[in-house]
Structure 1
């Protein structure tokens, strides 16, 4: 039987939050792209949001905090995607 370690579990949890946040960010931004692209941008946005929030001195804790940071980062990624295309 395969036991998931804490590192792998944290990665899976982060990907799940990022995917959900990408979907929410796409809805908030009125994105006309596919749900798969929004999910990918949300996963990328979770990393971008963490970096942006740390630059201004804020930290997220718990599911709600991580989710808010991921949605904000997803919105930034969708906005940047619109500007670049």
Structure 2
């Protein structure tokens, strides 16, 4: 059950980041991948900033923020 929860948070946060980044996503698989990587990245940044843990909504916000930063970095590399 924990793995499915992890994938669900990844999918939601990846989709949310895709909507915030020029209004597009990468499809469900791409959104899950971006969301999971963004979740790790966002969690790492939140830990460095000393931001405490929260519930489901907090996890989605942190993962979406990390995914958004990831999308930003990818767009810099593409240029």
Alignment of 1:56-71 (within 5 A): 56-71=49-64
TM-score, scaled relative to structure 2? 0.84
Deviation at 1:32? Answer: 4.4
Residue segments in structure 1 that go unaligned for 5+ positions in a row: 1-8
Runs of 4+ in 1 over 4 A off after TM superposition: none
Task: Compute the RMSD of aligned alpha carbons.
Answer: 1.6
**Which residue number in structure 2 is paired with residue 54 of structure 1?**
47
Answer whether contact 1:60 1:69 (CA < 8 A) is retained.
no
Q: Secondary structure at the match of 1:37?
A: helix
Q: Using the alignment, how far apart are the partners of 1:74 and 1:81 within structure 2?
A: 10
TM-score, scaled relative to structure 1? 0.79
Alignment of 1:1-85 (within 5 A): 9-30=1-22, 32=24, 34-35=26-27, 36-85=29-78
Q: Using the alignment, how far apart are the partners of 1:83 and 1:14 within structure 2?
A: 28
Cα distance change on mapping 1:33 and 1:61 into 2, 3 Å:
closer
CA radius of gyration, larger in: 1
Residue segments in structure 2 that go unaligned for 5+ positions in a row: none
Aligned residue pair count: 77
